[in-house]
Amino acid sequence: MLDNAKYDQINPPSRLLMGPGPINADPRVLRAMASQLVGQYDPAMTGYMNEVMALYRGVFKTENPWTLLVDGTSRAGIEAVLLSVIRPGDKVLVPVFGRFGHLLCEIARRCRAEVHIIEAPWGEVFSPDQIEDAVKRVRPRVLLTVQGDTSTTMLQPLEQLGEICRRYDALFYTDATASLGGNALESDAWGLDAVSAGLQKCLGGPSGSAPVTLSARCEAVIRSRKCVEEGIRTAEHRDGDDEMIYSNYFDLGMIMDYWGPERLNHHTEATSMLFAARECARLLLEEGLDAAIERHKLHGGAMLAGIDAMGLEVFGDRRHRMNNVLGVVIPTGLDGEQVRQMMLNDFAIEIGTSFGPLKGKIWRIGTMGYNARKDCVMQTLSALEGVLNRLGFAGPRGAGLQAAWDHYQREQPS
C-alpha cells in the first residue's frame, strides 16, 4: 500500500526563479497544459499542429514552411538538426564562447563530423571577421553557432554571418534557446538555415518542447539523406551508410512527414507540451515580438542598474550582454553558495550558479519570460542587497533598489 505520509500529492514550494532558466511558467501556459487530450489525428489536434507552425513562423520571423516542434528539451532540437543535417565526415565549424558551444561540438562529434572550433575567452564574442576568416580556412559544410550562451551571458551577433555562409556555401545554424523572445532574432533576414529553441527561457513555458525552423536549403539536405522506413531495412541501408540518419526519433525527414500534409505516423506528438508551446507563442505574438524584446531590455537594464549601484561587478563584455541574463562577479571574501542559499531559504528566490571556468566566480541572474517584470526585479535586488549586507558586504545600503527605480523612471516615464 502507498505510504501516504511519504508520497503526498505533489505540491512544490513556491519560488521566484531568477536564474538562467528554467523560470516560472506563465500561469496561462500552465492552464493550457491542463487541457484534456485529443487523439493524434483528431482534426482538432492536426489543426493545433498547423497553428503551432504558423505561430512559430511569427516567433522565428521566417516564412519557412518547416517550422515545427521536436518533442524533448531544447537539446532535442539541437540533436535533431545536427543528426539530420550532418553527414559523417562533414566539416563543421563551431565558434565557442561558452558551455553551449562545447555542447554543439560534442553533439557534432557524435554525428561523426570533422569538428573545427575557434574559441573566444569566456565573457567575449566573435567579430564577423574572425568568423569569416575561420570559414574561409575550414570551408565547413555547416556553421554551428549559439546566439545567447547563458553560461557566459553573452549574445553573439549573427546579422552578418548568413551572408558569409552563403559566400562559402555553408549551412548556418544557431541555438537560440536562451535568447529567442528576449533578443532580436531574424531567421530569414539573417540568412539562417536552421534555428532551434526551447520554452523555458524567454518564452515563459516549461522545458520539454523544442521549436525548430528549417530553410528550404536545409530541407533539401535533409531530404537527400536516406530514410529507413520502419521495419524495412533494404540493402541500400547498410550499417555504416553515411547517408543514413542515425536516429529514428530525431530524423527530421520523418518528423516533417508527420507534421506535413502526409501526416505519416511517427511519434505521438507530446500533446500537453504542444498546448504549452502554442500558448507561449500566442502570448508572445499577442504582446508583440518587439514589445517583448523591449520588455526584456527594460527589466534586464533595471537589474543591471541595481547591480552596478550596489558596487558589484558585472561579468563580461557589456556591449554584447544578453537582455535576459546578467553575470555578477561574486565579491572576494563572500561565499557565493551561501548567498544563493540565503536567497532561497529566506526569500524563496533562486539565482543561478555557474560552471566550467566560471564556477564559484559569478552568479547568473535572469529576468526573462514571465519573470521579466518590475516586481521580480525589485524583489530580487532587495533580497540580494539584504543578504549581502547581512554577510558583511560593505556596499552602499539601499542603492540597488534606488538605481532600479531611477532606471524605470528614466526608461519608462509615465
Residues that bind ligand PLP (CB under 6 A): 21, 73-75, 100, 146, 149-150, 175, 177-178, 198, 207
Cβ closer to ligand PLP: 181 or 198?
198
**What Rg do the C-alpha atoms of the chain give, in angstroms?**
22
**Least distance (Å) between residue 73 CB and ligand PLP:** 3
What residues does 1 pair with on adjacent strands? none
Q: Is 347 left (phi over 0), alpha (psi -120 to 50) or beta?
A: alpha
Q: Which is nearer to ligand PLP, 100 or 408 (CB)?
A: 100
Crossing angle of the two packed helices 289-309 and 374-390, in degrees rounded to 10: 20
Please tell me whether residue 206 adopts helix, strand or coil conformation: coil
Is 364 annotated as belonging to a binding site?
A: yes
**Min. distance of Cβ 22 from ligand PLP in angstroms?**
8
CB 330 within 8 A of CB 336: yes
Q: Provide the strand spans (E) within 254-352.
A: 325-329, 349-350
Distance set, CA 238 to CA 230, 231, 233, 243, 380 (Å): 14, 14, 8, 10, 57
- Identity of the residue, 100 or 250, whose beta carbon is nearer to ligand PLP in the bound complex: 100
Write the single-letter amino acid at 359.
K
Q: Pull the grid cell for residue 389.
A: 549586507
Shortest reach from residue 82's CB to ligand PLP, in Å: 13
Instruction: Using the minimum distance from each CB to ligand PLP, give the nearer residue, 162 or 205.
Output: 205
User: Of 205 and 400, which has the nearer Cβ to ligand PLP?
Assistant: 205
In angstroms, how far is CA 388 from the centroid of its own chain? 30
H-only helix segments in 86-147: 99-110, 128-138
Taking the complex as a whole, the smallest distance from the CB of residue 208 to ligand PLP amounts, in Å, to: 8
| Smallest gap from residue 9 Cβ to ligand PLP (A) | 27
- Closest to ligand PLP by CB, 62 vs 200, is 200
How far, in Å, CA of 408 to CA of 20, rounded?
Answer: 22
Smallest distance, Å, CB 139 to ligand PLP? 26
Residues facing 69 on adjacent strands: 211
* Binding residue numbers: 364
* Binding residue numbers for substrate: 364
